[in-house]
Amino acid sequence: MKIACKIIALVLFSSFAFGQNCALKNGDKASPLVLNDNQGTLQSLTFPYLNKLVLVHFWSSSVSRSKPFIPRAIDLQNRYSTTAYRNAEGFEVISVALQSDRKAWYDDIAAMGMDKMINLIAVKGYKDMSVCNFKIMQLPVTLLIDEFGTILLVNPTQLQIEEVLDGKKNSPTNTRDLKGMLLASESPKDVVKNEKMILTNKFGDTLSRTTTDASGHFVFTGVKYLTEYVLRTDTIGLSGKQKAFLSTGGGAVFAGIPRMDGKFEYTLTLADVATLSGINKEASTTKNAISFNANITFKKGSTELEPSSGPELDKVATMLTKNKDYTMEIITHTDSRGSDADNLELSKKRSSAVKAYLVSKGIAPVRMKPIGKGESELKNGCKNKVNCTDDEHAENVRTELKFFKP
C-alpha cells in the first residue's frame, strides 16, 4: 500500500507543480472510501453510493483554508437532502478529514455543527490508500459525484453545485421576482434613482443585480427562493445619508438600511422577502380592515414561539394598547408536510399561542380571535405528494394578523 501511494505521488508531482490540488477531472469514476467515522465505526463507502448524489469534501483541522467551505456544505445538506430527484435517491454530504489529531476533529465537528453529514477521518493523511486513490495533493478538495459514481465537478463553487442539483430535481426550481423601491428617507417621494443594487445569498455569492429606475423602483427577476438574502446598494445616490429605506412599490416603508463601514447592506427577513415578492398584502385592505404577514415563527412542529417573535409581538401589543377600539384576527398557516388534520390543529394552537402571548401583555382576550387554516391556503405548489425543498415549504408557514377598526 505504501509503495502504491508513493507511485501515485510521483505520477502526480507534475500536476502539483502547476498548482493543482487534485489530479481527478470531470468524468472520472470515484474510488471507494474505507475509513472510520466519528462514532468509531469503520465505513466502507463505494460509489455509486445508495444511488445518491454525493458531495465529498476533503479537509483538515490544521488547514485553515479547508474550513470555509464546510458551512456551505452544511447549507447544501439542509436544503437538498430531502429533495426528490428524477433518477437519484437523494443527496448526501461526506466530509473526510486528513489528520491524526482526533480531538481537534471531534471539536471541529461539534463547533461547526457537522452532525448531519457523514464524517470520516484518514489518520494517515495523504498516505491513506483511500486518499491516494482520489489523487489529492493539497487541501481542500471538493467533489460532486452523481448517482452513477461519476465525478461531475472538481472544486466547484456552491452556486455551481446548486445549478447541477436543481437541474436533477423532478420539479422546477421555485423562483420569484423581488420588487420594491429604494428611498433616501421615509418619504415615498424621496426616491433613489439609477442606483446599482446586488442581491446575494448569506455567504456573499451574487444571485442577481439590478438598477433602480427614474422612480426608484427595482426588480430582481427570477430569483431562486431562499430563506435569507443580503441586499447591497451603491452609495452614489445616497451621498451624505446614514440610512436608506426599502418600501413596497406603493411606497409603504418596511425596512431601514443603515450605513455600515461606508456601505449599505441589509439582511432580508422572511417577512421582507414576502413583502418584496408580493406575498404580503400591502394593499390587502377591506373596509375598516388591514392585514399583513407578521414576522412570527415557531419551533419546528411545535406551538412554542421562537424568541425572535417576542419583539414583533411586543410591537403588536403596543399598537393594540394605543388603539383600544381595534380588534384582531390571528390567522396561522402551515405547510403540507404531515396530515391535513394534524396541520389544521397545529395552526389553531399556534394562533392561540400568539393570543396567549398578547394576553400576557395586557391585551383583552375578547379583542382577539385565533384562526387556524392549516395547509388550506398554500402560497406555492408545494401541496400533498409534491416534493419541495425546506425553503419552499417554509414559504407557506406564516402568521397573518388582520386588524379591524370600528
User: Please, are residues 234 and 170 in contact by the beta-carbon 8 Å criterion?
Assistant: no
CA distance 206 to 276: 18
Look at residue 281 in the predicted model and tell me its pLDDT: 46
Query: Three-state DSSP class for 172?
Result: coil
392's grid cell: 419552499
Look at residue 288 in the predicted model and tell me its pLDDT: 59
Count of CB atoms situated within 10 Å of the CB of 112: 14
Q: Do 125 and 229 reside in the same domain of the chain?
A: no
179's grid cell: 420588487
What domain range is 311 assigned to? Answer: 285-404
Look at residue 14 in the predicted model and tell me its pLDDT: 42
Q: Do 308 and 364 reside in the same domain of the chain?
A: yes
Q: Do 162 and 42 reside in the same domain of the chain?
A: yes
Q: Do 114 and 214 reside in the same domain of the chain?
A: no
Question: Domain boundary residue among 119, 139, 168?
Answer: 168
Bridge partners of 44, per DSSP, are: 34
Q: Do 257 and 292 reside in the same domain of the chain?
A: no
Q: Do 335 and 247 reside in the same domain of the chain?
A: no
Q: Which residues, other chains included, contact 392 with Cβ-Cβ below 8 Å and sequence gap of 6+?
A: 174, 225, 380, 382
**Domains in the chain: how many in total?**
3
Look at residue 385 in the predicted model and tell me its pLDDT: 84
Question: Domain boundary residue among 152, 168, 184?
Answer: 168
User: Please, are residues 167 and 80 in contact by the beta-carbon 8 Å criterion?
Assistant: no
- Residue ranges of the chain whose pLDDT lies below 50: 1-4, 6-19, 281-286
291's grid cell: 392585514
- Cis-peptide, bond into residue 48, ω within 30° of zero: yes
Look at residue 356 in the predicted model and tell me its pLDDT: 96
90's grid cell: 437523494
Look at residue 91 in the predicted model and tell me its pLDDT: 96
CA distance 295 to 286: 22
Q: Is this structure's pTM higher than 0.95?
A: no
User: Please, are residues 80 and 117 in contact by the beta-carbon 8 Å criterion?
Assistant: no
